[in-house]
Structure 1
Amino acid sequence: MAIRKFGTVVAMLACAAPAFAEAAPKEKEVWITIGADALEPARASFQQKGLTLPAPALEKGGVAMLRVRESQLETLAAAMHDKLNRCAGFIAHDTEAQALAAVEGSTAPQPLAALVAYNINNGPSVNAMLSGVQELNIRNTINSLSTNWTTRRYNVQSGADAATWLRSQWTTIAGSRTDVSVAFFAHTWLQQSVIATITGTTHPNEVVVIGGHLDSINQSGSTAAAPGADDDASGVASLTEAFRVAIANGYKPARTVKFMAYAGEEVGLYGSNAIATSFKNAGTNVVGVLQLDMTNYKGSSYDFGMVQDNTNATLNSFTTSLISTYQPGLTWTNITCGYGCSDHASWNSAGFPATMPFEATMTTDNPQIHSSGDTLTYMGGTAANSVKFSKLAVSFMGELAKGATTGNTPPPVDSGGGGNVNTATYDATLKAPRCTAAGAGCDSGTLLNGRGGLGPEVNKPNTINASCTDGASGTYHSDESNDRLSVATADGTNLAAGKQVTVTATVWAYAAASDTLDLYYAANASSPSWVLIGSYKPAGSGARTITANYTLPSGTNQAIRANFRYQGSAGVCTTGSYDDRDDLIFTVQ
């Protein structure tokens, strides 16, 4: 992972050789883009080594553009790791034009196409695949990648051999399926990226990408051992197991799914940048990218760290909804990791929606990465932590690519160009989260997380016209809270009167026996008359997802309310000191 490497810069060339000396071959130079906040630390680090950092050719939107010698990429990554020990990262580009485009688009990369409907309605097929995920398979892949070669560096033969081995493994998994292919994505350096493709049955031109990086690095030197068991054999192993269970269960996606093992991530996202750029140039419709970079070290009390920068907010919300739905009880927190910290940044820069769940927070990540100590033994000799990431990859694939496993019926698939699930923003007039644009759904995102003064909930109490305040007793994520609300059509089309919709509520429960969620809807959010959908018990304590269905009435500006209570009876605004009420307003056609 590029999490422990940072912006990259170049030492000035040594004094020119005498005129009569034979000119040395000119070394390849590349353009890089880095986080502008890394420039001064980089300059100081280079000065300590007797080197000079050139001034950026361009700096805009927190991103700087520099030209460097290719041989210095690893050295500079190590220098930034030693100086900052934090995530800043960089992206290497073959041309000045590509680097310039990355800087110009850094403030707000524009999606190449409208986002599709990110809804959850493929449970039978997803659960069939989830039940087959095995820790031993993930462990064996990590072990093979981290012990068969001293290093998987992008520009040495052992790195190339690791790619050849993985291509063979994936080809074996694919078996005789004629709709599945495994191939290299060719690069100019020794190691090639590996891509396994399951062609979609009904929407083959819409693509879902699940990726991790194949290369490894030891920042103490280019010849030092770099087993890279966590960084990132674990991510490649997690997605390999997702690929395996898909094939084992006869899964045929509606959209095309591509599993990618990227070459050269550690020296500036080389492989993923080349692939994302080629997809952009070809006009490929990538509807979502999941990046798995380091999955097997649990350094935090949270199960997932959701990277918020250089990712897509709507896809992030969809990903955390997948966690709540298919792995209830697991927790996540929001983190930032800086510019270019992993391959998701390549896709984001190219204008494609990407998400990256991480194994820890940035201050609790694996201390052995980029060293000879990044081994499976250091992680306890097990791949237990990677299992949840493999399951997340399975649910991401099944719910975004849709389709079905053997014996199950595929759900409808929205074809894009509308039908997107919108993420709400706070409406200061109505005083609650609101989606003003039409779409297939509306999601509160993180706006509701917590209760009153407990937890990070902003704009509390988040009820229409502040009509119902929250109970003030207890502790955040020990006692009751509504954390998230969404409403979406079952068929992926836009919200409209007469459509059946699913309400998904993420709550933090104190105890199943004592807690109840009352769900209501109102046809007119400006003057709500609340109608009870139903009252529901959580399956247990901790993070729980509760769903309910109802039919949308007439009205262009509607709302739902979640009343989560400790004991008592159903009500629109109960008065218990542990009770939490939250509203979500949305547009209906």
Structure 2
Amino acid sequence: MEGKEPVWMTELEKIEAKANGLKFFDITDTPSLGSFAHMRAQSAPVYPPPSAHKQVTKVIETLSTAGPRTNLEKFSSYRTRYYRSETGRQSQQWLLSKIQQVTKESASPELQSLITIEEFQHSWGQNSIIARINGSSSTDERVVILGAHQDSANLWPFLAAPGADDDGSGTVTILESYRALLASDFRPQRPVEFHWYSAEEGGLLGSQAIAQSYEAQGLEVYAMSQYDMTAWVKQGTREEIGVIVDYVDNTLTDYNKQLIDAYLDVPYVETKCGYACSDHAPWSKAGYPSIFTIEASFENSNHANIHTSNDRIDVSSEFSFEHMLEFSKLAVAFAIELGGV
């Protein structure tokens, strides 16, 4: 838990802590994460104003709600994607096969030669997935990362957790952006990676493991953006993009606002989680610039249904694929503007 000394917990104690509303990192496997963060903070990146309007707009025009709907219908049909469950492993394998299929069908043979798709192995069985488009620059290997978490959880893991919004929505949102970028023959200068994290609901386990690995390898991250819950528009509220402003990199957050103003059809609202609430947090802990964008202001997000059996596509008209499309636009803009073309 933030601001507390680490304590040992059993898996059951973790489940009970989450059910009681306690917020925590599970640092069992990543005790050294952030060891070099103080050194990295001395060389914070500078982000030039958005300038690739023509390229971004061209790709945005090819985005669709059809693919995300079909993919999310399948992805949320698993009884649960809990990271220690058999269906959690099966859903991850389906997602991997879908990413591979999208790559094969959307990217030219030449572009496919620049792409790697890997499972980041975890001991609990549900692996994280990293799709990387290698950059053309021989002098700038700083990575641009777009992330979402693939697992779901009921407050009590033995119950159903379709996880349509949390975070099936973010998962298929960035997958649609990935598809559209490949179809446009996107050739970035910097490497651009799409991450689908395992075990976010278990205490940010998957993203912590990957961030620690990058830190240990001495890899540099230019910018990281997390997409966790992108579908909900609460009845009676204005449609808007929630820009988290606590526990994030302020400079990159301001840049994200510029992208929203330039490329999206709905405005943003500043909001706070009140804690390091998604997979951007391990990257921040490691000293990398990271941000988090959510479906609405935190108080208007989908609190009633997440972590229950009601987190489904069909639970309410408030679940919106058109709203998700705005986040796919944002992910495209983030990849092109920061990846370089």
TM-score scaled by length of structure 1 = 0.54
Tell me which residue corresponds to 1:188: 123
1:305 aligns with 2:242: yes
Question: Do 1:218 and 1:226's aligned partners in 2 also have CA atoms closer than 8 Å?
Answer: yes
Percent of matched pairs sharing the same residue = 30
C-alpha distance after superposition, 1:237-282 (max 9, x if no partner): 1000000001111111111011011000001000001111111111
C-alpha distance after superposition, 1:385-413 (max 9, x if no partner): 1000010000011100011xxxxxxxxxx
Match among 321, 324, 336 for residue 261 of structure 2: 324
Runs of 5+ unmatched residues, structure 2: none
Runs of 5+ unmatched residues, structure 1: 1-33, 37-55, 59-64, 81-87, 404-589
1:238 aligns with 2:205: no
More strand as a share of residues: 1
Seen in structure 2, the aligned counterparts of structure 1 residues 187 and 95 have a Cα distance that, compared at 3 Å, is closer
Structure 1 residue 67 displacement after superposition: 2.3
Structure 1 residue 338 displacement after superposition: 2.5
Match among 355, 368, 373 for residue 291 of structure 2: 355
Tell me which residue corresponds to 1:252: 187
Seen in structure 2, the aligned counterparts of structure 1 residues 378 and 276 have a Cα distance that, compared at 3 Å, is same
1:158 aligns with 2:94: no
Tell me which residue corresponds to 1:91: 25
Structure 1 residue 110 displacement after superposition: 5.0
Structure 1 residue 310 displacement after superposition: 1.3
Question: Do 2:244 and 2:273's aligned partners in 1 also have CA atoms closer than 8 Å?
Answer: yes
Match among 94, 104, 123 for residue 53 of structure 2: 123
Structure 1 residue 109 displacement after superposition: 9.2
1:140 aligns with 2:70: yes
Within-5 A mapping of 1:317-466: 317-327=254-264, 329-366=265-302, 367-380=304-317, 382-403=320-341
- Number of residue pairs the alignment of both structures matches: 330
Tell me which residue corresponds to 2:226: 291
Structure 1 residue 326 displacement after superposition: 1.1
C-alpha distance after superposition, 1:365-388 (max 9, x if no partner): 111000000000024375111000
Larger Rg: 1
Question: Do 1:216 and 1:232's aligned partners in 2 also have CA atoms closer than 8 Å?
Answer: yes
Matches of 1:335 and 1:240 in 2, distance apart?
A: 25
Matches of 2:255 and 2:65 in 1, distance apart?
A: 25
Tell me which stretches of 4 or more aligned residues in structure 1 moved more than 4 Å. none
Question: Do 1:89 and 1:339's aligned partners in 2 also have CA atoms closer than 8 Å?
Answer: yes
- C-alpha RMSD of matched pairs (Å): 2.0
Matches of 2:99 and 2:86 in 1, distance apart?
A: 20
Q: Secondary structure at the match of 2:191?
A: strand
Match among 86, 98, 101 for residue 172 of structure 1: 101
Seen in structure 2, the aligned counterparts of structure 1 residues 95 and 211 have a Cα distance that, compared at 3 Å, is closer
Question: Do 2:47 and 2:252's aligned partners in 1 also have CA atoms closer than 8 Å?
Answer: no
Seen in structure 2, the aligned counterparts of structure 1 residues 112 and 389 have a Cα distance that, compared at 3 Å, is farther
Question: Do 1:112 and 1:352's aligned partners in 2 also have CA atoms closer than 8 Å?
Answer: no
Matches of 2:62 and 2:13 in 1, distance apart?
A: 44
Question: Do 1:138 and 1:238's aligned partners in 2 also have CA atoms closer than 8 Å?
Answer: yes
Tell me which residue corresponds to 1:470: none
Structure 1 residue 292 displacement after superposition: 0.2
Tell me which residue corresponds to 1:202: 137
Tell me which residue corresponds to 2:13: 72
Structure 1 residue 112 displacement after superposition: 7.0
Matches of 1:355 and 1:174 in 2, distance apart?
A: 26
Question: Do 2:30 and 2:212's aligned partners in 1 also have CA atoms closer than 8 Å?
Answer: no
Matches of 2:30 and 2:58 in 1, distance apart?
A: 47
Which structure has the higher relative contact order (CA within 8 Å, separation 6+)?
2
Matches of 2:173 and 2:189 in 1, distance apart?
A: 22
Structure 1 residue 69 displacement after superposition: 1.8
Seen in structure 2, the aligned counterparts of structure 1 residues 112 and 243 have a Cα distance that, compared at 3 Å, is farther
Matches of 1:117 and 1:306 in 2, distance apart?
A: 18
Seen in structure 2, the aligned counterparts of structure 1 residues 109 and 89 have a Cα distance that, compared at 3 Å, is farther
C-alpha distance after superposition, 1:36-77 (max 9, x if no partner): 4xxxxxxxxxxxxxxxxxxx5x3xxxxxx3222234222210
Question: Do 2:30 and 2:208's aligned partners in 1 also have CA atoms closer than 8 Å?
Answer: no
Matches of 1:275 and 1:110 in 2, distance apart?
A: 17
Q: Secondary structure at the match of 2:232?
A: coil
Match among 182, 186, 202 for residue 267 of structure 1: 202
Matches of 1:356 and 1:79 in 2, distance apart?
A: 24
Tell me which residue corresponds to 1:559: none
Seen in structure 2, the aligned counterparts of structure 1 residues 347 and 109 have a Cα distance that, compared at 3 Å, is farther
Question: Do 2:148 and 2:195's aligned partners in 1 also have CA atoms closer than 8 Å?
Answer: yes
Matches of 2:316 and 2:137 in 1, distance apart?
A: 42
Question: Do 1:141 and 1:233's aligned partners in 2 also have CA atoms closer than 8 Å?
Answer: no
